[in-house]
Amino acid sequence: MNSFVSLPKAPSYWVVNVRIPRLFLEPLPDWANLSSPRCPPAAENLVAADIEIRGEHITRLQPAGQPLPPEAITVNGQQGLVWPCFVDVHTHLDKGHTWERRPNPDGTFDTALTAVNLDREKYWDAEDVYRRMTFGLKCSYAHGTQAIRTHLDSFEEQALISTEVFKALRDDWHGRLALEAVCLASLDYYQTPAGEKLADLMAEVGGLMGGVLRMNPDIDHQIDRLFSLAKERGLKLDLHTDESLDPQEMTLRRVAMAKQRHGFELAVTCAHCCSLSVQAADVAAETMRWVKETGISIVSLPLCNLYLQDRQPQQTPRYRGVTLLHELKQQGIPVMLASDNCRDPFFAYGDHDMLEVFTQSARIGHLDRPFADWPLAVTRLPGELMNLPHSGRIAPGLMADLILFKARSFNELLARPQSDRLVIRQGQAIDTPLPDYAELDDLLTELQ
C-alpha cells in the first residue's frame, strides 16, 4: 500500500507530531495527562507525542514539540494516529477466497455449510489450502496484523492436510506473523477414535481444541468428552457457541458449567454467542454470570453474523445476531472482535483488515460515545489470549510494531478506509502491497 509518509533507511529515527490513544500507553507517562495545543478538545484521550525508534525497538516517548537531539532524523506524522499492530484471534483461513468457485446462492448459514463441505471434498488438497491461506496472510500482514489464530476444518484426512499446511506457513511467516491453529469439528466427532486422534494431532502441532456446539440431547456428555480430551493433553479450548437466533440455544452456559465441573484451568474462548441477543434479560444475565465466574473470554464476529443471521428471502432482517457486547463487558468479561470468514460461503466480503472489523463493529454495536477502551478488543486483549504480553502497548523497550494512520482523530479514522496507512514492523516500514486477486485465478475453477 502507498503510505502518506515515508520512513528513512536509518538505524535510528524519530516519528514526531503524532497522536497516540492514551489507552495504548502502558505504563502511562506522567506527561501524558498534560493538555496540549496539538490535541484539541475534540481529540479527547489522545496524547500528542514524539516517538524515537532505534533498531527494532521504541526507545523513547516524549511530548510532541519538545527539543530533539541535534543529530535526530525525523519523520513528521502530521498529527496522525499511532496504534500498535492488530491481533486477529478468530479466522478461517482454510475456507477463505473460495467465493468465485463456490458462492452461497441464498446467503444462509445452512447453504454456506453445504457449500463449504462440497468445496472441501473437491478442491482442498495441500496446494489449494496453502495458496489460499497464504493469500489471506499477505492481506493481514499488509493491513497491519501481527498475530492470527485460525480454525481449521479437521474431519478425517483433511485434518492431516491442513495441519501440515499450517505448520509450513507458521515456519514461512515466523518473525512476521505469529500463528495459532484450532481444530474444528462437530462435538460428536470427538466421541469417536478419529476424534481422539485429532486431539493428539493438535497436541503435536501445539494448537488448540475447537468445535461447533449445537443443542442436542447428548450435549452435556459431548462437552464433557471435549473437556476430558483437552485436559488430558493440556490443550486450551476455542469454541463456536450459540451461532443462531434460537433463544433455546444455550451451549455457552453449558460450556461454563463444564469448565467448573472439570476444574479446567486453561483458557476457554467462546465465539459468536448470537442467541444471547434474543434471550430474555434474566436468562442472558444468568449465562453471563456463569461466564464471568469461570473466566471464559468472548469473541464477537459482527461482520459474519450480520451477513448470515436472520436472512430470509425478500425480507429485511430484523435481528442482526451480534452478541451482547456492552453487557458482557460491563460484567468484566473479556470481549474481543475478530474477522472470522473472508470471501467464502459464510461471508462474501472482507479483506482480512482488522481496522475494517473495528470500524464496522463500532458502527454495528455502538462502540462509541465514548470509544473508551474498545480498541483493546482488536489489539491487547486478543494478544494476551495468544500469549503475546506486549501486544496492544506502546512504550519504551517494546518492539516497534506500529501502524501510523493519516487520520488525526477517531472520527477521521472510522470515516475512511485508511488505505494509505504506514505499517511499521520491528522498526522498519514493511512497504508490502496487498496481493492481487489474480494470484488465485487458476484455483478458482468453474464448477462443472
The whole-number mean pLDDT for each consecutive block of 10 residues of the chain, a chain of 448 residues, reads: 86 96 92 74 81 98 95 96 98 97 96 97 97 98 98 97 98 98 98 97 98 97 98 98 97 98 98 98 98 98 97 94 97 98 98 98 96 97 96 97 97 96 97 94 71
Catalytic residue list contains 243: yes
Write down the architecture of domain 86-385 according to CATH.
Alpha-Beta Barrel (3.20)
Identify the active-site residue in 180, 243, 249, 384. Answer: 243
Neighbours of 260 (CB within 10 A): 12
Instruction: Burial-class residue 321 by CB neighbours within 10 Å (0-12, 13-18, 19+).
Output: buried
How many residues are there in the chain?
448
Write down the architecture of domain 12-84+392-429 according to CATH.
Roll (2.30)
Residues 308-348 pLDDT 10s: 999 999 999 999 999 999 999 999 999 999 999 999 999 99
Domain ranges of the chain: 12-84+392-429, 86-385
Predicted local distance difference test score (pLDDT) of residue 448 = 39
Question: In this structure, are residues 290 and 265 in contact, taking their beta carbons and an 8 Å threshold?
Answer: no
Predicted local distance difference test score (pLDDT) of residue 35 = 66
Residues 231-267 pLDDT 10s: 999 999 999 999 999 999 999 999 999 999 999 999 9
H helices of 352-407, in order, are 354-365, 380-385
